[in-house]
Amino acid sequence: MSSPEIASLSWGQMKVKGCSTTYKDCKVWPGGSRTWDWRETGTNHSPGVQPADLEEVVKKGVKTMVIGRGMSEALQVPSSTVDYLKKNGIDVVVLQTEKAVEEYNTLAARGVKVGGVFHSTC
């Protein structure tokens, strides 16, 4: 099962190919996507992305995780979160969201089992 292409990104809006939903923040993995609701884990810009935000995607068997920190990179990614991914044998890429989406789509097009979490505003 391949990772779905992110079809479009603009401030506050993301579309995933094959999905009718428009996301503000989203999670993607081989075979699917859904809204990334920060309230589920109590996430905020600081301290940022927590392992709990990534567990669902990790369980899908991804080999690489791409994290989009927002258009202005306001979303933090603590070293403990990067360590969590590395301990699970997952490569991690942390970038500004537009660059993160480009990287994710490149990896997905190559057939890499890639997942991602993307913040589409600040």
Beta bridge partners of 32: 29
| Residue 1 reports pLDDT greater than 90 | no
Q: Which strands make up the sheet holding 6-10, listed edge to edge?
A: 6-10, 13-16, 22-23
Question: pLDDT tens digits for 98-121?
Answer: 999 999 999 999 999 999 999 999
Integer Cα distance of 15 and 48 in angstroms: 23
In order of their start, the domains of the chain are 6-118 (3.40.1230.10)
Peptide bond into 78 cis (omega under 30): no
Question: pLDDT tens digits for 24-61?
Answer: 999 999 999 999 999 999 999 999 999 999 999 999 99
Q: Which pTM does this prediction carry? A: 0.97
| Residue 10 reports pLDDT greater than 90 | yes
Cα dihedral value 65, 114, 53, 121, nearest 10: 80
